[in-house]
Chains A and B, each alone.
Chain A
Amino acid sequence: MPPKEISETSKRSRGSSINWRDVLMNLAIPLAGMLVALLIGAVLLLFLKVDPIKAYSVLLSGAFGSWPGFFQALVKATPLLLVGLGICIAFRASVINIGGEGQIIAGALMATWWPLTFREWPGWLLIPTTVIMGFLAGCAWGFIPGLLKARLKVNEILSTVMMNAIALQFMNLLVRGPLIDPAGVEAGQYLAQSERLPANAWLVRLIPQTLLNAGAIIAVVLAIVVYIFLWRTTIGYRIRAVGLNPDASRYAGINVPFYQALSLTLAGGFAGLAGVVEVLGVQHRLLEGITGGYGFTGIVAALFGSLHPLGTIPASILFGGLLVGADKMQRATQVPSALITAILGLVVLFVVGSSIWSKRWAAHRKIDALKESEVA
C-alpha cells in the first residue's frame, strides 16, 4: 500500500490531460539555455578572431540545410536517442549513469562477435538475436555498477566512469588482437578494426545513398515503449517513485536498491543497443572510436528533452544535427568541432542550473491549486 501522497499525485499526473503550460516551460528553459550557450560560444569565437556568424551558419546549414545533411543528422540522432532513453530511466530513478560510453562498447562488441561467430545464420534469425544479445551485453555492463550500488552503496557516478575506461581498454585490446581484420593483417595493414560483418547481419538502409538505417525506426518505437513503461506500468511507476522520494518509497515497501540497480541495468541495455545500431547499421564493423562520444551527448539530449522519452526524440535530432554541423564547420571554417563539446557542457550546466526555476514554478502551481481548492 503506497502512502497516500504518492498515490494521489500519481493519479493526478495520470488522469489529467496534457498541461500545456508545463510543456511550454519544459521547452523554454532548455532552449534558453541553448541560446545562452551559443552566445557564449560566439563570444569565444570572436575572441579567437573567427567570425561567429559564418561559423554558426555553416553549422546550421550543414545539419539542416540539405537533405543529405539532415539524413546524416538522423543517423547520429539514433544512438543519441537510444542512449538518452536509458538516461531517462536511470535519471528518473535518481541514478546518475555516466557509463554510456562503456555500455555502448559492450553492445558494439557483442554486435561484432555474435554475427561473425554465427555468420551462416539467415538474416531473420541473425539480426534479432544480435540485437537482443547486444542489449543484454549493455545490460550486463550497467548491472555491475548497479549491483555495486545496491549491495555495497558504491557511488554509481564513479563506478560507471571507471567502467567506461575498462570497456575502452578492453575493446582496444580485442580490436587489435583477436578481433582484428584478418584481411587487413594479410595486406600488411594493422588498422584497429574488425573484419567486415556478413551482409545478412546488416540493418536495412532506409534511404539509398545515405547511412540512415532501420535502427532509427527501432529507436523511435522504443521511445514510445519506454514512455509506456515509465508511466503506465507498476515497475515504471516504482522507478519514478524511487527517484522522486526514496524515503517515502522505502516506507511504501518498495525495494529501493533493487529498482536503482534495475534502472541502471536497463540504461546499460539501451546504450548497448546504440552500439548495436552503430555496428549493424552504420559501420558494418567494429572500429576504434565507435562510441563517438554518444554516451555523453546522449545525457545532454535526455536532459534537454526534460528526461521524457518522447521529448528526447526531437532533442536527439537537434544534437545529432549539431554534431553533423560541427564536422562541416571544422572542414569549412577550421573551427574545431570541440567547440560543440564545450557548448554541450554549457547546455548541461544551464539546464540543470535552471531546474531551480522549474521547481519554484511547480511549487508555485501547487500553492495556486491549493488556493483554488480552498475557494471551491
Chain B
Amino acid sequence: MDEILSTGVIIGILTSAIRLATPYLYAAIGESFAQSSGVVNLGVDGIMLIAAFASFYVVLNTGSIWLGLLAAILAGLVMGLLMSFISVTLKAEQGISGIGLYMFGLGLSSLLFNVLVGTVKTVTGFQPVKIAVLGDIPYIGEIFFNHSLLVYGAFLLVPVAWWILDKTSWGLMIKSVGQNPAAADSLGVNVDKVRYVSVCIGAMLAGVAGASLSISLLNLFQDNLTAGQGFIAVALVYFGGWKPLGIMGGALLFSTVNAFQLWMQVLGVNIPSDVAVMLPYLLTIAALAVTVNRVRQPAALNKPFERGES
C-alpha cells in the first residue's frame, strides 16, 4: 500500500485526471448548448469518432496539428448540420435520430480508417506546453500547468460557456428556446435557427473532443476509439444540471475514477480490471438517479417545436 499512496503516484493520478477530463469537457459543454436549446443530441459519440479520424488523418498526411483541429471542427459541423436537419427541420424523435447519427459515425469512421490507413499508426499531436512560472510550482505545476493546449482550452471553455449561456443575450435566447419555444417564437425569435446554431456549436465542440483524443491524448486512431465516452458526456450534462461548472465537476469526477483505475492497472494492484472499468458506468447511473429530481431540465428538452402546437 505504501507504493500506492506515494506522492509520485498521487501526482500521477491527478495529472492524468486533468488530461482525461478534456474530451468529456469539450463534448459535454458542447452538448449543454444543444440541450439548453431543447435538443438532445445523442450522436455525440459518433461525431467524436468521425472528427477524431478526420483530425488524425489530416495530421498523418500534412503534419499540421492546426489543420487537423480544423478538420475535426469541420467534420463536427457537417454532422451537426445533419443532426439539426433531421431533428429540427424534420422534427424527428431526437433519441432515435441520435442513435442513427452514432451508428453512422461509428461505421463511417471505421470504414475510412480501414480503407485509407489500415493499420494502427501514431502521429505527433499537440505537445505539452509548460506555463512559465506557474509550471515551476512544485506538485501544482506538474498537475495543472504542464499540458497540451487542447487541455488548457477545455478548462478555459468552462468560464466562457458560463459567460455565454448566463450573461449574453445570445445565451438567454438559447435558453428561452429550450424553456418555452412558443413564447420565444411569439417574441420574434427564430426557434429553428437558434436550435441549428446551438446543435452545431455542440457538434463542433464534440469534434474538438474527438481531436483531443486522436491528436492530443492518444495520438492514434483505431476502430471505436471513443469507446462510448460521448454517451457519458451526454449523461454529464444531466449530471451537471445544464451548468458548465457542474459539468466540469462531473467530468473531473469521471476522469479521476478513470485515472485511478488506469494507475492501479499500471501498478498491478489486484482489482480485476473489468470491475474497475465498470465503475464509471455504475457511477453514471447513480449520478443520474441522484440528480434528476434535484435540478430542473429545460422544459422543452427533447420536444420538436411546431408552430401552432402548444
User: B284–A48 contact, CB under 8 A?
Assistant: no
* Bound CA span A155–B105, Å: 23
Would you give the 0/1 interface string for B103-130, flagging 1 where the beta carbon is closer than 8 Å to chain A?
1111110111011100000000000000
For residue B292, CB closer than 8 A to chain A, the reply is yes
- Cβ 8 A contact of B111, one of A296, A336, A347: A336
User: B97–A345 contact, CB under 8 A?
Assistant: no
- Which A residues are in CB contact (< 8 Å) with B92? 349, 352-353, 355-356
Would you give the 0/1 interface string for B277-296, flagging 1 where the beta carbon is closer than 8 Å to chain A?
11001101100110011000
For residue A248, CB closer than 8 A to chain B, the reply is no
User: A352–B278 contact, CB under 8 A?
Assistant: no
Number of interface residues of A (CB under 8 A): 48
For residue B100, CB closer than 8 A to chain A, the reply is yes
Question: A96-B95, A166-B282 are contacts. A342–B111 as well, Cβ < 8 Å?
Answer: yes
User: A349–B106 contact, CB under 8 A?
Assistant: no
* Bound CA span A353–B96, Å: 10
Q: How far is the CB of A231 from chain B (nearest CB, A)?
A: 22
User: A169–B277 contact, CB under 8 A?
Assistant: yes
Would you give the 0/1 interface string for A333-370, flagging 1 where the beta carbon is closer than 8 Å to chain B?
00110111111111111001111100000000000000
- Write the chain A residue with the least CB distance to B90: A353
Question: A98-B99, A154-B289, A299-B99 are contacts. A344–B107 as well, Cβ < 8 Å?
Answer: yes
Q: How far is the CB of B13 from chain A (nearest CB, A)?
A: 21
Would you give the 0/1 interface string for A153-167, flagging 1 where the beta carbon is closer than 8 Å to chain B?
111011101110110
- Cβ 8 A contact of A152, one of B42, B91, B289: B289
- Write the chain B residue with the least CB distance to A158: B235
* Bound CA span A336–B288, Å: 37
* Bound CA span A153–B284, Å: 14
- Which B residues are in CB contact (< 8 Å) with A299? 96, 99
- Which B residues are in CB contact (< 8 Å) with A161? 228, 231
User: B107–A158 contact, CB under 8 A?
Assistant: no
* Bound CA span A356–B231, Å: 27
User: A349–B274 contact, CB under 8 A?
Assistant: no
For residue B308, CB closer than 8 A to chain A, the reply is no
- Write the chain A residue with the least CB distance to B102: A345
For residue A44, CB closer than 8 A to chain B, the reply is yes
User: B90–A354 contact, CB under 8 A?
Assistant: yes
- Write the chain B residue with the least CB distance to A355: B92
- Which A residues are in CB contact (< 8 Å) with B228? 161, 165
Q: How far is the CB of A86 from chain B (nearest CB, A)?
A: 15
* Bound CA span A176–B114, Å: 29
For residue A50, CB closer than 8 A to chain B, the reply is yes
- Write the chain A residue with the least CB distance to B82: A349
For residue B200, CB closer than 8 A to chain A, the reply is no
CB within 8 Å of B: which of A127-170? 148, 152-155, 157-159, 161-163, 165-166, 169-170
- Write the chain A residue with the least CB distance to B304: A356
User: A158–B103 contact, CB under 8 A?
Assistant: no
- Write the chain A residue with the least CB distance to B272: A173
CB within 8 Å of B: which of A44-89? 44, 48, 50
Among B96, B102, B278, B288, which residue has the most Cβ atoms of chain A within 10 A?
B96
For residue A303, CB closer than 8 A to chain B, the reply is yes
* Bound CA span A352–B108, Å: 20
Among A44, A335, A336, A353, which residue has the most Cβ atoms of chain B within 10 A?
A353
Would you give the 0/1 interface string for A199-222, flagging 1 where the beta carbon is closer than 8 Å to chain B?
000000000000000000000000
Question: A173-B274, A353-B97 are contacts. A338–B114 as well, Cβ < 8 Å?
Answer: yes
* Bound CA span A166–B286, Å: 13
- Which A residues are in CB contact (< 8 Å) with B100? 345-349, 352
Question: A152-B289, A153-B293 are contacts. A342–B272 as well, Cβ < 8 Å?
Answer: no
- Cβ 8 A contact of B86, one of A153, A343, A353: A353
Q: How far is the CB of A374 from chain B (nearest CB, A)?
A: 22
Q: How far is the CB of B174 from chain A (nearest CB, A)?
A: 21
- Which A residues are in CB contact (< 8 Å) with B102? 345
- Which B residues are in CB contact (< 8 Å) with A353? 85-86, 90, 92, 97
User: A336–B103 contact, CB under 8 A?
Assistant: no
For residue A26, CB closer than 8 A to chain B, the reply is no
Q: How far is the CB of B142 from chain A (nearest CB, A)?
A: 32
For residue B244, CB closer than 8 A to chain A, the reply is no
Q: 4 nearest interchain CB pairs?
A: A341-B107, A345-B104, A342-B107, A348-B100
Q: Can you report 18 residue pairs joining A to B where beta carbons are below 8 Å apart?
A: A48-B115, A91-B96, A157-B42, A162-B235, A162-B285, A165-B281, A166-B282, A169-B274, A169-B278, A338-B223, A339-B111, A341-B107, A342-B103, A342-B104, A345-B105, A345-B108, A346-B104, A354-B90
- List 4 additional A-B contacts (Cβ < 8 Å) besides A48-B115, A157-B40: A169-B281, A341-B107, A347-B100, A352-B96
Interface residues of B (CB under 8 A from A): 40, 42, 46, 82, 85-86, 90-93, 95-108, 110-112, 114-116, 223, 228, 231, 234-235, 238, 272, 274-275, 277-278, 281-282, 284-285, 288-289, 292-293
